Amino acid sequence: MPTLTIDEREVSVPAGASVLEAAEALGITVPHFCYHKALGAVGACRLCAVEIQAGPQHGLRMACLVEARDGMVVSTTAPAATGMRRAVIEYLMLNHPHDCPVCDEGGECQLQDMTVAGGHGVRRYRGKKRTFPNQELGPFVEQEMNRCIQCYRCVRTYRDYAGGHDFGVLGVRQRVAYGRFRPGRLESPYSGNLVDVCPTGVFTDKTVRFRARVWDMQCAPSVCPHCSLGCATWPWARYRELLRVSGREGPRTNGFFLCDRGRFGSGHANHPDRPRTPRLDGRELGWPEALEALRERLTKLTWAHGPGAVGLLTSGRASLESARALGLLGQALGGAPVVCEPHPRRDRAVRALVAELGQLGRDQEDVRQSDCLLLAGLDPEGEAPMLALAARQAVRRGARAAVWDPRPDRLPFPARRIARLPEALLEALARPDGRAPDGLEAAERESYAETRAALQAAERPVLLGGADLLGPRGVRLLLAAARALSRPGRACGLSLALPGPDSFGGALLCPDGPDADELLAGIEAGRVRALVCLEADPLSEHPDPARVAAALGRLELLVVLDHLPTASAARAHAVLPTTAAAEMDGAFVNHAGRLQGFARVYSAGLPIRVTGQGAHPPREFRPDTPGELPQPGWAVLAALAGEPVELGELRAELARSEPRLAGLAGLVAGGPGVQLALEPSARERPDTPAEPGVAEGELALLSVEALFGSEPLSARAAPVAGVASEDALALCPADAARLGLGEGEPARLRSALGEAVLPVRLAPGLAPGFALVQRRFGGPLEGFAPGGGPIACRIEKGGAR
Amino acid sequence: MTLWRSIRGTLAALGVTLKAIFRRPATIPYPEVKRVPAPRYRARIVLTRDPRGGERCVACHLCSAACPVNCISMQAAEGPDGRRYAAWFRINFSRCIFCGLCAEACPTLAIQMTPDYELCRRDPLELVFEKEDLLVEDGGKDRDYDFYRHAGIGVAQARGEGSEEEPPADVRSLLP
Ligand code: SF4
Ligand code: SF4
Ligand code: SF4
Ligand code: SF4
Ligand code: FES
């Protein structure tokens, strides 16, 4: 721990820290451009000059490059240092355009700040400015190369941190430019981070080009609702419209960065067809009348047919408090049980995890620090995009990685791959002797043995998995493998991607209720006569949409609480509009069991862009806000139960009734959150039966999530809807040849999930015997709910599309 | 004595009045006659045009940020030529205190104060001026300034064609 003196104050920092970081520890910000906590220092910008007055070095030095040493005396304010910084700013401005007024970075521009802070107000150089051609980089990122100051942050983020290949630095001398070799859409799923890291306006968010200045926007610390990782975000809203999302520092979760789904998927809150008024039997009503009428009908049904007459269904999208309020409504209705996920297999997988996880849960930071990773049945790009980046950081530090998955490998790091379903391999791994399963090829057996040995030898091994492919049995096997690989004093952790941002919390609240299939059976048998869906869309999330449609048709009353225009909401007798995450306070429990709060960014309402129809806001005085009726799900449900509560009361009640959620009482949005104290449940673990699987010689269909278009929230965001990949049926070339299908030819796909005619895409990385589709809302694959694992399917040369 | 003093006082005052009858009056019979204040007088705000007749305002939000009473609001948008402009622009003159900070902040010289002080309306909503009410067909003060000619990002002229710019660099060339 070297101790040094900076600006006449002493500070001790960990060995290896730079002078810049030591100053930061004292609260002194040394101006800088190229240094970034996550990217480190490269000494490109020369702005962080300080004077070292005593110690192992002397004179003007770059604070980000000099390691803090014992006895150093550093001045950040010495005339030599400030003079150098002023000169550097003036040099950087030589070529900088004169365009802050039309630059979207203005107001949050580090270069602007430094120029003003450095006192450089008048241009002395009279020569001409260098210019660059710009590139078209796709729908998300706008480039204005003339504004660049050559700090290299963009390349270091895109290539080094995120593993992208299609972006780099070109040119020599003062013609150094950053972009793609040819114009085109940035391929990395993490391209949006360019917007955050570029300290100038070279890369700005194209989806909100010219829409707002940073000082006019509302923002509050939030948690990304687009997958189960719970990355830390800042959503930004203006004029009742959720405009953009930027990365917030989440030391245990995302670090600094976000995936493009989380960053550009927020437009669902502005969806034009989003429910905004309570609706009952086709009539729009005010809240009091709607709630009164529904309460009466639900109570009557309960009286007439017993508490089981009302079914309650939620999903991983709902906040923890809303899920709890649904439970309270169940209690008010005499004990109606809550089903916590519309997809029964997903439901059981999540509950298996929550019941047995104990202290084995690992978050993104644990993954980044791990030294050996196994990805079993996980395709991070679709299910938990930032998990791939976390794993990449571990691999960059020397961790070994292996992947057991039949899907094509899209990981941004090298990994030893066994292209098979992971179940048998995990079963072997969980056995004490760990003998490789039968039926592996020699190379696979060797790879398996090597991975097992590496996991056993590692200090901080983590098993990563995806609940969708693994299913309840796979999750149990993964847990068993983690336990088998743990030794006293050194646990093997586990990180499982779940279906929704609060899947974990929802399962925590209803550990052993019925699942969606039991609910459907109840409806079909006529026992369940009414269904309340809280931010759940059984029609698109259940693996048997036809059965759901028939069951919903039998209901006397279908109540849907949602902020999305879902298929189920379109069929409901009553729709109660709820708020999106950015419009409410609440909490999610992420995939690793971390409870995180989010704060209301703005109040729900019709955007001025809508009320003004693109022109100025309407010239009228009115006391209310148009479209202000959506309420948080928990508030609607509590009112429906006849017991309106405050969020604080609800949280206090939840903390009392569920000791594992005790942290909820003191939870603050924007804080690090609370890791839940989980104990593996002592209950007997029933042996999960093997799934029916797929007969020999038949193709196994995997319906999975894609980065864009599969997740219900972001799929309805305008910027993302335009980039979702084309619907296609992926086959490995050998299977396609056997079926007589070539690239792009139409094929008819028949499965329990439904039928579709799709163009064939040859995927050499896909294991033989598998067919792969990515669910996409708004297309023929909308009903192909992910989460069902491999199912039987028939593929033939297809008719008309 | 008192009486004499009273008479004298009355006559003197009458004299002053009589003299003033033949002098030019200091007041003006507004509204039949209107006074023209100095050009730098700060009254009704206008949005001016550049020498080519285009809207000068680039919706940069600096005037609205500078405004101490928050009476300016706008929405920026992108034109087909990549030009940033105000889709709508509103000044609420019932709140404006005519401090001139917006005009001082404006980097494009778009927003300017004029000497038109006649800004009374019976309905406060009529004091809410929209862009069409604010735009004038004139450059106002500093008629020759054209922001986009100097911005250096290739909107008013092709990239690198401005008087202060080099032609675009060839980033693929490795020649020194
Ligand atoms: S990058 Fe910063 S300094 Fe440059 S034009 Fe944009 S806001 Fe101004
Ligand atoms: S584009 Fe931005 S991040 Fe990249 S070098 Fe230039 S200023 Fe730095
Ligand atoms: S990884 Fe998940 S939580 Fe994180 S930003 Fe992406 S979608 Fe959001
Ligand atoms: S400061 Fe000038 S250019 Fe900017 S928005 Fe106001 S009027 Fe328009
Ligand atoms: S921050 Fe040290 S040189 Fe850029």
Same domain, A311 and A410: no
pLDDT of residue A114: 92
Please say if the pLDDT value at position A740 is more than 70: yes
Enumerate residues 6+ apart whose C-beta is below 8 A from A464. Answer: A367, A373, A374, A375, A376, A378, A380, A387, A391, A494, A495, A496, A497
Which domain covers residue B62, as residue numbers? 45-148
Q: Is the pLDDT of residue A798 over 80?
A: no
Judge if A381 and A528 occupy the same domain: no
Between A361-375, A480-494, A689-703, the lowest mean confidence (pLDDT) is in A689-703
Instruction: Measure CA of the first residue to CA of the last residue in chain B; give whole Å.
Output: 107
The string of DSSP codes covering A25-70 is HTT-----SS-BTTTB----S---EEEEEESSS-EEEETTTSBP-T
> CATH number of the domain that B118 lies in?
3.30.70.3270
What is the SS3 assignment for A759? strand
- CA–CA distance, B16 with A228 (Å, rounded to integer): 91
Give the residue among A314, A774, A754, A782 at the shortest CA–CA distance from A546: A754
Residue B77 lies in a domain: yes
Quote the ligand 5 centre to A64 CA distance (angstroms). Answer: 6
Tell me what the mean pLDDT of segment A308-321 comes to: 96
Q: What is the mean pLDDT of residues A499-522?
A: 94
Inside any domain, residue A517: yes
Q: B115 lies in a domain?
A: yes
Which tokens belong to A262? 């989380």
Q: What is the domain-level CATH number for residue A718?
A: 2.40.40.20
Q: What is the CATH number of the domain that holds A73?
A: 3.10.20.740
Instruction: Share the mean pLDDT of chain A.
Output: 94
Q: Which two tokens stand for residue A478?
A: 């993964």
User: Within its chain, how far is the Cα of A380 from the centroid?
Assistant: 10
Which band of pLDDT confidence, cut at 50, 70 and 90, is reported for residue A687? Answer: low
- Would you say residue B168 lies in a domain? no
Rounded-to-integer distance, Cα A544 and Cα A566, Å: 16
Chain B residue with the nearest C-alpha to that of A238: B75
Q: CB under 8 Å to A544, separation ≥6 — which residues? A: A752, A753
Q: Whole-angstrom Cα distance, residue A53 to residue A557?
A: 78
pLDDT tens for A373-384 read 999 999 999 999
Distance A662 CA to ligand 4 centre (A): 52
* Mean pLDDT (whole number) for A603-607: 96
Count of CB atoms situated within 10 Å of the CB of A691: 16
How confident is the model over B17-24, as a mean pLDDT?
90
Instruction: Give the pLDDT score at A560.
Output: 98
Residues A335 and A408 reside in one and the same domain:
no
pLDDT value, residue A686:
63
pLDDT at A696: 74
Q: φ and ψ at A6, to 5 degrees?
A: -125, 125
The yes/no answer to whether this complex scores an ipTM above 0.95 is no
Q: What is the percent of chain A where pLDDT is above 90?
A: 89
Q: Which of A473, A498, A523 is the last residue of a domain?
A: A498
Q: What is the 3-state secondary structure (H, E, C) of A474-519?
A: HHHHHHHHHHHHCECCECCEEEEECCCCCHHHHHHHCCCCCCHHHH
Atom of ligand 1 nearest to the CA of A107: 7
Q: Are A302 and A328 in contact (CB under 8 A)?
A: no
pLDDT at A683 (0 to 100): 65
- Kindly report the backbone phi and psi dihedral angles of residue A103, in degrees, each rounded to the nearest multiple of 5, phi listed first: -105, 130
Kindly list the protein residues whose Cβ atom lies closer than 6 A to any atom of ligand 2. Answer: A 148-154, 178, 197-200, 202
Q: With an 8 Å Cβ cutoff, are A101 and B58 in contact?
A: yes
Number of domains composing chain B: 1
| pLDDT, mean of residues B3-25 | 92
Residue A564 confidence (pLDDT): 97
Tokens for A406?
């039949």
**Residue A595 confidence (pLDDT) above 90:** yes
A697 pLDDT tier (thresholds 50, 70, 90): confident
State the Cα–Cα distance between residues B70 and B64, nearest whole angstrom: 6
The reply to whether A336 and A391 lie within a common domain is no
Residue B21 has phi, psi (to 5 degrees) of -60, -35
* Mean pLDDT of chain B, nearest integer: 93
Same domain, A704 and A665: no
Query: Does A800 have pLDDT greater than 60?
Result: no
Check whether residue A731 and residue A659 sit in a common domain.
Answer: no
Q: Looking at the structure, tell me whether residues A308 and A289 fall in a common domain.
A: yes
On whether residue B1 sits in a domain, the answer given is no
> Does B74 map to a domain?
yes
Q: Is residue B37 part of a domain?
A: no
Nearest CA-CA partner of A160 in A44, A32, A38? A38
Contacts of A621 in chain B (CB under 8 A): 125
3-class DSSP assignment, residue A757: strand
Q: Which of A102, A106, A175 sits opposite B151 (nearest CB)?
A: A102
**Cα–Cα separations (whole angstroms), residue B82 to A138, A581, A596, A781, B151:** 16, 34, 41, 37, 13
Q: Do A98 and B150 touch (CB under 8 A)?
A: yes
pLDDT for A579 = 98
Give pLDDT tens digits for A18-53: 999 999 999 999 999 999 999 999 999 999 999 999
Q: Determine the distance from the C-alpha atom of residue A646 to the mean position of all C-alpha atoms in its chain, rounded to a whole number.
A: 29
Q: What is the pLDDT of residues A339-354, one digit of tens each?
A: 999 999 999 999 999 9
Residue A262 — φ and ψ, nearest 5°?
-65, -35
Boundaries of domain holding A81? 3-93
A769 has a pLDDT exceeding 80 = yes
**B9 inside domain:** no
The single-letter DSSP state of residue A259 is -
The beta strands (E) that lie in A216-351 are given as: 218-219, 222-223, 232-238, 241-247, 279-280, 283-284, 310-314, 338-339
Q: A297 pLDDT exceeds 80?
A: yes
Residues counted in chain B = 176
Residue A684 pLDDT: 59
- For B64-95, write each residue's pLDDT tens digit: 999 999 999 999 999 999 999 999 999 999 99
Residue B108 lies in a domain: yes
Confidence of residue B2 (pLDDT cuts 50, 70, 90): confident
**Does the pLDDT of residue A801 top 60, yes or no?**
no
What are the tens digits of pLDDT across the range B122-142?
Answer: 999 999 999 999 999 999 999
Residues A457 and A373 in one domain: yes
Same-domain check for residues A535 and A665: yes
Could you tell me which residue, A142 or A724, shows the higher pLDDT?
A142
**Pair A648, A721 in one domain:** no
Chain-chain contact of A144 with B153 (C-beta, under 8 angstroms): yes
Residue A480, domain CATH: 3.40.228.10
pLDDT at A750: 92
Ligand nearest to the CA of A106: 1
Q: What is the pLDDT of residues B54-64, one digit of tens each?
A: 999 999 999 99
The distance of A535 to chain B (nearest Cα, Å) reads 33
Tell me the angle at which helices A320-332 and A647-657 cross, rounded to the nearest 10 degrees: 80
Rounded to an integer, what is the distance from CA A479 to the centroid of its chain? 23
| pLDDT (tens digit per residue) in A393-418 | 999 999 999 999 999 989 999 999 99
Question: What is the average per-residue pLDDT within A44-70?
Answer: 94
Tokens of A637: 């449900």
A695 pLDDT band, cuts 50/70/90, is confident
Instruction: Check whether A680 has a pLDDT greater than 90.
Output: no
Please work out whether the CB of residue A120 comes within 6 Å of at least one atom of ligand 1.
Answer: no
CA A561 centroid distance within chain: 23
A649, A709: one domain = no
Under DSSP, is residue B87 helix (H, G, I), strand (E, B) or coil? strand
Query: What is the per-residue pLDDT for A107?
Result: 94
pLDDT at A96 over 80: yes
Chain A residues within an 8 Å CB radius of B128? 619
Are A642 and A546 found together in one domain?
A: yes
Out of A170, A210, A619, name the one closest to residue B78 (CB): A210
Last residue of a domain, one of A480, A498, A516: A498
The total of structural domains in chain A comes to: 4
The residue-averaged pLDDT of B152-164 equals: 90
| pLDDT class of A685 with cuts at 50, 70, 90 | low
Look at residue A682 in the predicted model and tell me its pLDDT. Answer: 65
Give the global pTM: 0.94
Sign of CA dihedral A260, A262, A263, A265: positive
